[in-house]
Structure 1
Amino acid sequence: MPDAEPHAPAGPTVSDDTPPPVQPNKRKRLFLIFAAVIAVAALAYGLHRLIVGDRWVSTDNAYVNAEVAQITPLVAGAVTAVRVSDTQAVRRGQVLVEIDPADARIAVAQAEAQLAQAERRVRQTLATGSALGAQVTGRQADIARARARIITAQADFERAQIDLRRRQALASGGAVSGEELTQARNAFAAAQAGLGVARADLAQANATRGAAEGERAANDALVRGTTVATNPDVLAARARLDQARLDLARTVIRAPFDGVVARRQVQVGQRVAPGAALMSVVPVTQVYVDANYKEVQLADVRPGQPVELTSDLYGDDVMFHGRVAGFSGGTGAAFAVIPAQNASGNWIKVVQRLPVRVTLDPRELAAHPLRLGLSMEATIDTKPR
């Protein structure tokens, strides 16, 4: 009888490579460690937000800006020279453009001639015043002579009147001839006429003196209280001369400050009018940054707080430092060409951005120049120590 086969084990066979089952206590410890790590991370994040995170507000919506000078002529004329080109650095007072000065020089010559004429007229008026004063004195003498003639004529008239009466009394007795009586009558009439002429001469002398006094008064009104230098006509002529000289000086256009030339639009031979844009000068040593922060970031931002900035031009290796100078008067949407009409009824709230002006350290700008429109990243420390 063959041997019986051995019986197979009743349960599943366990391989030698199968790891031993994890003990419940070890699994629990792993969960506790994982939970502790999460708690520590959350606590660290909360502390960071409490101590550091809420202290700094950042934005990458920031750009370099400056008070750009628009170079415009103040006088009209043809351009004779353009001394600069785009991207050229200029110093304050450096000549940028020259305008043909021929017309301005002629205007200066005309103004100088008008000033000389005005001064001559004033001197003539002063001299005329002295002459009119002498005329008034002379007319007073004429009046005195006319009065003396009246006295003489009055005496002749009275004498002729008495002589006529005497002869008329004697003529009735035949003591005086008719011829003598006629002569007496003629003498009386002549004396009477002479008296009338003397009185008319006095009236004429008085009228002449009044006219001379009026002319002197009118002449004095032109120069009273003034000299040749302070006369209104001379002052007006000198003002015209100053204006002409100023227009002549304005034919040479100079840089208002140190900067870089941009957007040159003028060429030699071009005729320009006052106010026409010729070019721009950017003050690269006086640029600032306009950082557009969200309105929810600005609760703790105040003027004077320090700002750290980096530029895409230099990267994170160059750090700029500045200060908050102030806030814009309105958001970008408020100053848009077509402002949002939130009262139309179809409105979705959009977080607005408010430009914050940040001034930069001039020494850092000198070491690492910036240009208008460059992108910046600005971080404000709202709680400086």
Structure 2
Amino acid sequence: MSEETNFPSSKKKNRKKALVIFIFILLLLALVTGLYWFFFVKGYESTDDAYVSGNQVMISSQVSGNVQQINADNMDFVRAGEQLLSLDNSDLQLAFEQAQSNLASAVRQVSQLNYTIKQLSAAVQSKTVSLEQVRGNLQRREQLNKTQSIDKESYLHAKEAVELAKVDLIATQNQLSANQALLLDVPLDQQPSVLHAVSQLKQAWLNLQRSKIVSPIDGYVARRSVQVGQKVAVGSALLAVIPVDQMWIDANFKETQLRYMRLGQPVKVKVDLYGDKVEFNGKVSGIDMGTGSAFSLLPAQNATGNWIKVVQRVPVRIALEPEQLQKYPLRIGLSSQVEVNVQQTDGDVLRTARDQTQQQTLYSTSSLVYDQTAVENLVNSIISQNTY
């Protein structure tokens, strides 16, 4: 009888013990969750709405023509200055040869003008002497006319001869001045007509060089749309070159996540291409000045009557370390997960203005700068050969 009365009490004790254990497990889970949030979640903002972005250098033609040769295809690696394709340069070669002829003609015209000035100068001297002669004749006839030793008609002819000599001298002097005004005291190679012809020759030479389209940077070819024989116009996009060392992450954070986000904060990035095994180190380099919807092709009209509030997202640029980009190359458009440590809030929200005295060049290339030594030598040769 005693065993039966003790059975309910022992069962009750077991239930209390199980309840205590359950509550203890709940408290332990709450404690672990709280510790995890405090040490690993608090002070961090993350998003998986992030993608790899980078520079896409669109290659276009600076002259028009038909594509004659293609030297690089999609996924090929090219160096800066390497020829990507070439255009048919027959018309450009003819224009270059015509520009050489125009320069030679301009030099000869200036030389001819110099001789014309010399001829007019001699004519002025000759007509000055002639004027002095008719003046002397007039003076003698004036003396004879006072004593009426000469007929009146001869006297009038002498006066007319002086006037005609004056007019003829003035006309020749004006011609001389007009031709001198064309040359002034300027060397032949600095004459406006010669300079104009030289600039046309250099432009024709430059167009001839531009018929060979080169890569401005090191990178991989992508988006090739040009074909052999195709007629390309000035400025038309032919292909793109993508540098592997000029890539970053564009992470689209919710507007509620930007409260404590500052420039320079450390970032951890995982790209789906490499999975969890590779973690990129980066930092916040900029926060866009507008939401994605505001900069879209068709921005939302929030003033409409059926407006629904939607949490907006703002693009945040994450700069990556060049060493990691070189070791683990990325592709534009890849998905990624971004986690920003926002605990340090002493940084700037916006980029500061640049120092005007120390302008920083972000990107540059020297592949589009041509050495003009050859055309300069050609110009000097044409000028010397056509100067008499």
Structure-1-length-normalised TM-score: 0.82
Find 1:342's aligned residue among 293, 302, 311.
302
Structural mapping, 1:42-121, within 5 Å: 42=30, 45-46=33-34, 48-50=36-38, 52-121=40-109
1:35 CA displacement: 5.1
Question: Equivalences for 1:147-296 in 2 at 5 Å?
Answer: 147-159=135-147, 161=148, 188-189=150-151, 192-296=152-256
Is it true that 1:139 corresponds to 2:127 in the alignment? yes
State which of 308, 331, 335 in structure 2 corresponds to 1:375.
335
Q: Which has the larger radius of gyration?
A: 1
287-296 or 330-339, which moves further after superposition?
A: 330-339
Q: Which amino acid aligns with 1:383?
A: Q
Q: 1:147 to 1:70 in 2, by over 3 A?
A: same
Q: TM-score, normalised by structure 2?
A: 0.82
Counting aligned pairs with the same residue, the percent is: 37
User: How big is the shift at 1:97?
Assistant: 0.6
Q: Does 1:14 align with 2:4?
A: yes
CA contact (8 A) 1:312 1:375 kept: yes
SS at match of 2:279: strand
- Cα distance in 1, alignment partners of residues 150 and 155 from structure 2: 11
Aligned residue identity for 1:95: Q
Deviations 1:294-350, CA, capped at 9 Å, x for gaps: 111111112222211111111111111122121223211112222111111211111
CA RMSD of aligned residues (A): 2.6
Unaligned runs of 5+ in 1: 1-10, 162-186
Structure 2: segments with no counterpart, 5+ residues = 346-388
Q: CA deviation at 1:225?
A: 4.1
Q: Return the letter of the residue paired with 1:101.
A: N
Equivalent position amino acid for 2:4 in 1: V
Q: Report the AA paired with residue 14 of structure 1.
A: E
Is 1:357–2:317 an aligned residue pair?
A: yes
Q: Deviations over 1:42-83 (max 9, x none)?
A: 455445545542321111111111120111112111211100
Counterpart of 1:8 in structure 2 is none
Q: Which 4+ runs in 1 deviate beyond 6 A?
A: 15-19
Displacement of 1:20 in angstroms is: 2.3
Aligned length: 345
Q: CA deviation at 1:148?
A: 0.5
**Any idea what the Cα deviations from partners look like across 1:85-106, whole Å, max 9, x if unmatched?**
1111111111111101111111
Q: Distance in 1 between matches of 2:173 and 2:314?
A: 77
